[in-house]
Amino acid sequence: MNNSYRWVIVAAGALMSCVALGAMFSLAIFLEPMALDTNWSRTGISSAMTLNFLVMGVGGFAWGAIYDRVGARPVVFAGAVLLGLSLVVASRANSLIVFQLSYGVIVGLAASAFFAPMIALTTAWFDTNRSLAVSLVSAGMGVAPMTISPFARWLITAYDWRTAMFDIGIMAWVLLLPAVFLVRQPSVAGAAADESAPVPAADPGMSVGHALRSPQFLVLGMTFFACCAAHSGPIFHMVSYAMSCGIAPMAAVTIYSVEGLAGLGGRVLYGVLGDRLGAKPVLIVGLAIQAVVIAAYLAVGNLEQFYLLAIIFGATYGGVMPLYAVLARDYFGPRIIGTVLGAATLLSSLGMSFGPLAGGMIFDTYASYSWLFIGSALIGLGAAGIAIAFPPQPGRERLQAA
């Protein structure tokens, strides 16, 4: 198989992450119109996103293990079918519990079928420029706020939230099902084409249990958890926070889009820096910047200030996310990368699950998001501190025993 096909894998992965994560995160756009139309509380609606992340975490671990056994195509096909189905069902929900189950459980299960398997597949195709390739696949998440979110806002304005969610579900099928057939595993020769590539630190015979108990994974998982716990609340509630600061609804959505656009540049920038300087130091600096920017949101008051912070925040949280996959591949090698990355995704999803629910509860209690941003900034600083404890980089010392 021609090695140039690896860029087709990158493009397919970017499209899948854009549609899947864009559909999931579009709940932030639906939050206010749904609350007004149904009289469901913000906490109740936001808890669907919390369920989403919890299920996504468990699903990511399961899908990652399945990927290690059968490859990526069956996994992403199942995810594509489930994603469209879950959005169609959620759009027809007449009770909060039905919405929480359909959107929170099925969307989470569907979205988790794309991230870990497609990132793992990409690392298998690339021996050089791996950080950049993984960053480009995850860049789909950055494109989502510029595409899916404005599209959802336009549909809601033109029709209503139910029609908008239904249409996005159909769109997911139309875009994802054809893309599934572009997904292929690399040939053995192609995967080993670059003999100058660094040797993975993992022992070829290492068990999953040994890997998940290693110091490398413990630090990776805890950092990923804290990083996501820090930014999930500000991301999900950003549109509502901006509106509470007097920003018009459509302008508030553009802040979300600016974050996504900045995330594209951030993924490329951090990917290139990760290839040149190493993933660990770039990750630590990025996490520290993220924490400072989250705290700075407490001082904003106009649209221009929101845009400025959105550029820095989007570039930072978007840029650091792919580095976890690069570190996982470097530490543990290709044989069990799907399971290891799925386990790390499980922990990150647990972190992501805190923000939406906490933000909804804080706003319902205090009619303000201030404590959300304060708490998120402190957790972000904790993530940077944990990342400093990463063991020596792979290729220099072999994986430490538990």
pLDDT tens track for 105-132? 999 899 888 887 888 888 888 777 777 7
Model pLDDT, residue 170: 93
Nearest to 343 by CA among 58, 54, 53: 58
Q: Within 10 A of 365 (CB to CB), how many other CB atoms are there?
A: 10
Q: Whats the size of the chain, residue-wise? A: 402
- Quick one: residue 87, left, alpha or beta (phi over 0 = left, psi -120 to 50 = alpha)? alpha
Model pLDDT, residue 52: 81
Measured CA to CA, the distance from residue 344 to residue 190 in angstroms comes to: 27
Contact 147, 15 (CB under 8 A): no
Nearest to 327 by CA among 272, 390, 386: 390
Is 192 within a domain? no
Is 191 within a domain? no
How many domains does the structure of the chain reveal?
1
Is 93 within a domain? yes
Is 160 within a domain? yes
Domain of residue 31 covers: 6-185+205-387
Model pLDDT, residue 184: 87
Angle at 89 between CA 231 and CA 22, to 5 degrees: 30
Is 125 within a domain? yes
Torsion of CA 195, 198, 202, 204, to 10 degrees: 0
Measured CA to CA, the distance from residue 348 to residue 353 in angstroms comes to: 9
Nearest to 72 by CA among 169, 180, 170, 216: 180
Q: For residue 402, name the pLDDT band (cuts at 50, 70, 90).
A: very low
- For the question of whether the overall pTM of this predicted structure is more than 0.75, the answer is no
Is 70 within a domain? yes
Nearest to 286 by CA among 130, 131, 56, 396: 131
pLDDT, tens digit, 9 for 90 and up, residues 47-75: 887 788 788 878 888 888 888 888 889 99
Is 402 within a domain? no
Is 287 within a domain? yes
pLDDT surpasses 70 at 300 = yes
| CATH code, 325 | 1.20.1250.20
CA distances from 26 to 87, 186, 233, 249, 298 (A): 11, 33, 14, 14, 24
Model pLDDT, residue 227: 92
